[in-house]
Amino acid sequence: MAIVERPLAIGAGDDAIETNDRPLGSVTRPKETGSWKDWLTTVDHKKIGIMYGVAAMFFFVIGGAEALLIRIQLATPNGTLLSPDVYNQVFTMHGVTMIFLVAMPMGAAFTNYLLPLQLGARDVAFPRLNALSFWVFLFGGLFLNSAWLFGGGADGGWFNYAPNSSVTFSPSHGIDFYALGLQITGVASLVGAINLITTALNMRPKGMTLMRMPIFTWMNLVVQFLLLFAVPVISIALFQLTFDRLFDANFFNTEAGADPLLWQHLFWIFGHPEVYILILPSFGIVSEVIPVFSRKPIFGYSFMVASGVAIGFMGWGVWAHHMFVSGIGPISVAAFSLSTMFIAVPTGVKILNWLATIWGGKLRFNTAMLFAVGVVSMFTIGGLSGVTHSVAPADTQQTDTYYIVAHFHYVIFGGTLLGFFSGFYFWWPKMFGYKLNEKLGKTNFWLQIVGFNVTFGPMHILGLQGMSRRIDTYDAGFGFERWNFVATVGAFIIALGIAFFFVNVAVSRNQWIKAGRPNPGPDPWDARSLEWMTASPTPVHNFDEEIVVESQDEFWHRKYGYDENHNVVRIATAAEVAQDGSNTNVHLPSPSYFPILLALSMPIISYGLIYSLWLCIPGGMLMVYSMVGWIFEHPDDPNAAHDHHDDGHDGDDHGALPDSGTELEAGDGDEELVAVGAGAVGETVASDVVETEATDG
Amino acid sequence: MTRFTPSMRKGVKFLALLTAMFVFAACAGDAELDTRSNLAGPEAQSIESFMRVLLWITYIVFAFVLAITVEAWRRFRIKGDDYEDDEFPAQIDHSKWEIVWTIVPALILVGVFVFTLGLHNQLNSSEENPISLVVGDGANVEWEPEIVVVGQQWWWEYQYHFGDVELTAQRIETLPDADITTATQMVIPVGTEIELEITSRDVIHSHWIPSLNGKRDAVPGRQSAPWKIQADEPGVFFGQCTEFCGLSHSRMRMQVIALPMAEFQEWVTAQMEGVELSPETAAYVADLAAGGTTAPEGTEQRAVDTFRTKCASCHVLDGVTNGIVSRPEEQLVSGAAPNLTHFGTRTTFAGGIVNVWDPDTGDFNRNQLGQWLRDPSSIKANFTEPVSEDDARLRGMPNLGLTAQEVDDLVGLLEMTGAPPTVDGDSEFLISETGVE
């Protein structure tokens, strides 16, 4: 991997280098910027992050609508809004959508946008691969949901247990869409994982040792490792399922002697690390937000990092707690009961460290902080109910009831989703240049958290009353009526709360425009990490010059120091420390059509597998074409894609490299990986296509 | 900051209310599937006692977290969004605290695990306590006691094998014919530990009688490790399939009926016999079984004839389907249909969702049974279409296109298949207790 290509190294006064803009003679490398087409071909991690966020929000609305249908159906006994068949599709697609198309990509949105910024980097390691992950995810998600237009969604539950997932028991194409759609989104996760691991490990700035990395970046590094090892497992399972359904491969066909527990093991070896894939980005966000609004460093940084890594490791040893009643042996049950209990220890460390950070701080309870504190208490409930079913005997009463539904919604909604909302309010000015309205934000928060508890709190009771999961109706007389009705009311309160978020975005933006687009400044919250050290919204080239890191919370330490009594004193304003983003002629990775084309080939092949194998031929041709074009298209066009392109200056953009060692190591080519280990920056080779021309024009 | 104080207080009150909700979670009165009240089995009771302690631990931990949060908000929040640069708290970091809150939760969990292990072993141990039963012909047989539980879309079958039969770890297809086969209702003697051998004929189901014990999955192609239940008092205990099993998952219910030993013995005796027909009809059946082709005379014989031609390819009704080998595996994906010999001794059918006997009047539920025979899908969602073009098998009870006359005859025939067992001498008890609305 670590190939450094020399031909593009640009020396002083060189003429423009010729590169092949049309590697296959048909698709010309895009050059224009500023139009909507720019979004299709961009390789900018910030734009990709925003697109991830928008797409996840789009799917969130779909998944939310499905949730409301479920709640209306269950509001009263013998609900008739949905037929049993449609209900099974709706609850399956609700789960699949929320997990794979909302929570995971929303984490990817934050990671994409923030991870390079927190490292002071130009972009991710492989910008075109980054674009590929996004488009593959989007097309995979659209493909999965297109099942609604082709006769109905998957109807086997998100866990899709064999053999109920076979053609015999689910003859519609819904599960084919499930298997192939998740296969595609899995590709997106894998590609992203490789890219972001490389970025975090290799593109840290000088002085940023691993133990100076912000916790958000740390947690997402752990997540990417989890994805790297978990996604292949589900990919294999999904391939087996696809081959079973399309070509009678008999992996899970019990009539042919298969053991249906095989699917369960494969699914949950993926599925449990998946839970941590969903929650750790949110833990990262909370760990950034709470210190800023407490005016304290995170309590026990090293323990926060270590507990995240411990969760990442232990997360692999607990999967069979999903199978306590499936008939695995008593010894296995006891062992997995033990491991599951003890994963609560590192999680508890995190909760208590957040509390210790808050304690004694100077707390600003704005919306971002409220959501973050909300995560701390709501996730605690989810974690504690988790401990109650780590007790295997108790789990035999609880599993597959609404108690479990309550539990994982406290984890995924109360933990993950509230964390994301905290992140929205916190980083919005950095991303879009204006703050979200606090009044509307607090309304958003209170409606959401009250609605959330009114919806999912009663589900604990329903589960203990014996209401099974995944039932399309229930009869009167089992005592389920009251709390189901309450839960439905709660669901609509949540919907109202989420609506306030969208209203807030529109209102805040309008007010900002009316006020003449005032700039919030680089550091509206008096924050601590590097992303706040550049202008808001983030300039396209991120940073004007490389940052040399000397401590954890580098930005804060540039603003504040200690006096002789060890009191904190300000030594500089944010504006003095932060970069203003005014640099010009920063060479950026070039846009490309090939990621989106390659991504497009995947749903075409998938439709072909389901409906007509002939369709796989054009799909396959598009895939090969895009790959070959990708290979022959040089990762960077030295003659284009410069930020702040200043047409008034003389000559081309490629003046002398500055001598001062301010070259920016950044995402500068897919083939290239410049090793910038901690403390090793001084020796690294100059990046060959990204340079800062401080003296230009 | 003060401007949202009231809402913040409300939030705190709300969370307190929520905590209270958990404490009183088990208060619902009419919850027949409740895991925390009206428990009748020692297993379920042990789980609940453990759960009670466990829940209190979680309440305390949550209250602690919430209290710290609220107190921090009360003490340390600053009003407004701006503050002076000198307003800085101490920038502390004490790793000794980290040790404390790594060790303390770990110790609590070690304690929880020790008790978990004890309970786990209790639930997974079993003792063999054979009991002696007098079966139909007056012979004494030993009964382990164990019951084979078979799930299929969307009803439960219970098989009783008497005598020395090795049931453990056998695939369902290889099991010998059972002495008693019943559907939807499992009848057990009070105070006896029953071992359940749980399996499935199609997809994964889960057998769960909350007031007796936790659940255990029914996995096709394998038999679960033995799972026991025991009822310490006579009564009816409700259950529900809890592993998603397709279209009518929510309509796959069952009941356990616990009878005192004497009444259980009576039930067993009755179950070992076929349906009681008039002597003429019995002779008619014998003739048909021997290959005769006599035309039916009268309602009863007509009903027998209809059953033999329309139902017997899947359903067994001892005394009526004599001489016919049912081959449900050719008709149904699951390969099984309920044995109807003692249909009348059960109180629910169609997966435990329809009453056999009207719970108010105690009469045979002719209306809904007739409706079920006319159009099963109108009562319970079924797959009425064949699996595929090459596979004509169905999933669930098909619509046989019976005439009104045939439906009436069959309802009449099924009415002759017995009455529910008495519980503690009360013959109406079962009918009123199992009533489905």
* Nearest-angstrom CA–CA distance, A26 and A9: 27
First to last CA, chain B: 54
Across-strand partners of B207? B216
- Tell me which amino acid residue A409 is: H
Beta strands B185-189 and B205-208, pairing class: unpaired
Burial class (CB in 10 A: 0-12, 13-18, 19+), B137: exposed
Q: Which residues contact B335 (CB under 8 A, 6 or more apart)?
A: B152, B201, B202, B328, B329
Q: How many angstroms away from the CA of B272 is the closest CA of chain A?
A: 32
* Nearest-angstrom CA–CA distance, A530 and A119: 7
Q: If you average pLDDT over residues B398-408, what whole number do you get?
A: 93
Percent of chain A with pLDDT over 90: 76
**Structural tokens at position A603:** 């749903």
Query: Which chain B residues have a beta carbon less than 8 Å from that of A479?
Result: 28-32, 34
The model's pLDDT over A382-424, given as tens digits with 9 standing for 90+, comes to 999 999 999 999 999 999 999 999 999 999 999 999 999 999 9
**Structural tokens at position B283:** 């002779």
Burial class (CB in 10 A: 0-12, 13-18, 19+), A243: middle
Q: What is the pLDDT of residue A17?
A: 53
> Domain residue spans in chain A?
287-517, 530-577
Percent of chain A with pLDDT over 70: 88
Residue A185 has pLDDT above 90, yes or no: yes
CB contact (8 A) between residue A338 and residue B78: no
Total count of domains within chain B: 1
Residue B224 has pLDDT above 90, yes or no: no
B388 within some domain? yes
Closest CA to A39 of A600, A595, A670, A643: A595
Residue B215 has pLDDT above 70, yes or no: yes
Three state DSSP letters for A85-141: HHHHHHHHHHHHHHHHHHHHHHHHHHHHHHHHHHCCCCCCCCHHHHHHHHHHHHHHH
Complex-level ipTM beyond the 0.90 threshold: yes
The sign one gets for the Cα dihedral A249, A255, A256, A257 is positive
Closest CA to A156 of A2, A260, A284: A260
Query: Which chain A residues have a beta carbon less than 8 Å from that of B116?
Result: 334, 337, 341, 391-393
- Residue A697: pLDDT band with limits 50, 70, 90: very low
Q: CB contact, 8 Å: A376 with chain B?
A: yes
B301 within some domain? yes
Cα-based distances in Å from A158 to A56, A267, A340: 18, 10, 22
- Residue A684: pLDDT band with limits 50, 70, 90: very low
Three state DSSP letters for A293-320: HHCCCCCCHHHHHHHHHHHHHHHHHCHH
Task: Assign A338 to helix, strand or coil.
Answer: helix
Please calculate the CA angle B271-B276-B282 and round it to the nearest 5 degrees. Answer: 130
Q: CB contact, 8 Å: A90 with chain B?
A: no
Closest CA to A321 of A340, A294, A297, A346: A340
Q: Which residues contact A45 (CB under 8 A, 6 or more apart)?
A: A112, A113, A115, A116, A123, A124, A127, A130, A667
**CATH number of the domain encompassing residue B305:** 1.10.760.10
Mean pLDDT of chain A: 88
Cα-based distances in Å from B368 to A2, A229, A472, B165, B353: 74, 54, 22, 39, 11
Task: Assign A509 to helix, strand or coil.
Answer: helix
- Residue A32: pLDDT band with limits 50, 70, 90: low
CB contact (8 A) between residue A359 and residue B77: no
Closest CA to A87 of A77, A79, A98, A96: A79
**B308: containing domain:** 279-433
Q: What is the pLDDT of residue B7?
A: 52
B336 within some domain? yes
Q: CB contact, 8 Å: A262 with chain B?
A: no
- Residue A22: pLDDT band with limits 50, 70, 90: confident
Q: If you average pLDDT over residues A571-586, what whole number do you get?
A: 86
Query: Which chain A residues have a beta carbon less than 8 Å from that of B8?
Result: 365
Q: CB contact, 8 Å: A54 with chain B?
A: no
Q: What is the pLDDT of residue A502?
A: 97
**Structural tokens at position A152:** 């109905």
Q: How many angstroms away from the CA of B335 is the closest CA of chain A?
A: 11
- Tell me which amino acid residue B373 is: L
The model's pLDDT over B101-150, given as tens digits with 9 standing for 90+, comes to 999 999 999 999 999 999 999 999 888 789 998 876 778 888 989 999 99
Burial class (CB in 10 A: 0-12, 13-18, 19+), A521: middle
Q: CB contact, 8 Å: A476 with chain B?
A: yes
Mutate to test the interface with B, among A325, A349, A473, A559 (most CBs of B within 10 A): A325
* Nearest-angstrom CA–CA distance, B116 and A393: 7
Identify which has the larger pLDDT, B235 or B93. B235
CB contact (8 A) between residue A569 and residue B92: no
Closest CA to A577 of A552, A543, A537: A543
Residue A3 has pLDDT above 90, yes or no: no
Residue A682 has pLDDT above 70, yes or no: no
* Nearest-angstrom CA–CA distance, A407 and A278: 14
Of A171, A325, A361, the CB nearest to B216: A325
Q: If you average pLDDT over residues A249-262, what whole number do you get?
A: 90
B163 within some domain? no
The model's pLDDT over A187-211, given as tens digits with 9 standing for 90+, comes to 999 999 999 999 999 999 999 999 9
Residue A675 has pLDDT above 70, yes or no: no
Q: If you average pLDDT over residues B171-187, what whole number do you get?
A: 89
Beta strands B180-183 and B155-160, pairing class: antiparallel
Beta strands B185-189 and B253-259, pairing class: parallel
Q: CB contact, 8 Å: A236 with chain B?
A: no
Q: CB contact, 8 Å: A551 with chain B?
A: no
Residue A160 has pLDDT above 70, yes or no: yes
Three state DSSP letters for chain B: CHHHHHHHHHHHHHHHHHHHHHHCHHHCCCCCCCCCCCCCCHHHHHHHHHHHHHHHHHHHHHHHHHHHHHHHHHHHECCCCCCCCCCCCCCCCCHHHHHHHHHHHHHHHHHHHHHHHHHHHHHHCCCCCCEEEECCCCCEEEECCEEEEEEECCEEEEEECCCCCCCCCCCHHHCCCCCEEEECEEEEECCCCEEEEEEECCCCEEEECCCCCCEEEECECCCCCCEEECCCCCEEEEEECCCCCCCCHHHCEEEEEEECHHHHHHHHHHHCCCCCCCHHHHHHHHHHHCCCCCCCCHHHHHHHHHHHHHHCCCCCCCCCCCCCCCCHHHHECCCCCCCCCCHHHCCEECCCCEECECCCCCCECHHHHHHHHHCHHHCCCCECCCCCCCCCCEECCCCCCCCHHHHHHHHHHHHCCCCCCCECCECCHHHHHCCCC
* pTM summary value: 0.91
Query: Which chain A residues have a beta carbon less than 8 Å from that of B15?
Result: 377, 453
Identify which has the larger pLDDT, B24 or B209. B209
Contact assessment for residue B247 and residue B207, using Cβ atoms and an 8 Å cutoff: no
**Structural tokens at position B285:** 């059946």
B150 within some domain? no
Q: If you average pLDDT over residues A591-612, what whole number do you get?
A: 95
CB contact (8 A) between residue A473 and residue B106: no
CB contact (8 A) between residue B30 and residue A479: yes
Contact assessment for residue B182 and residue B268, using Cβ atoms and an 8 Å cutoff: no
Closest CA to B417 of B349, B346, B360: B346
Q: What is the pLDDT of residue B80?
A: 66
Residue range A287-517 in CATH 1.10.150.20: no
The model's pLDDT over A476-486, given as tens digits with 9 standing for 90+, comes to 888 999 999 99
Mutate to test the interface with B, among A478, A480, A482 (most CBs of B within 10 A): A478
Q: Which residues contact B96 (CB under 8 A, 6 or more apart)?
A: none
CB contact (8 A) between residue A362 and residue B87: yes
Q: What secondary structure letter does DSSP report for A576?
A: H
B403 within some domain? yes
CB contact (8 A) between residue B388 and residue A476: no
* Nearest-angstrom CA–CA distance, A306 and A288: 16
Contact assessment for residue A281 and residue A238, using Cβ atoms and an 8 Å cutoff: no
- Residue B196: pLDDT band with limits 50, 70, 90: very high
Across-strand partners of B238? B255
Q: What is the pLDDT of residue A486?
A: 96
Q: What is the pLDDT of residue A25?
A: 66
Of B102, B219, B220, the CB nearest to A326: B219
B195 within some domain? no
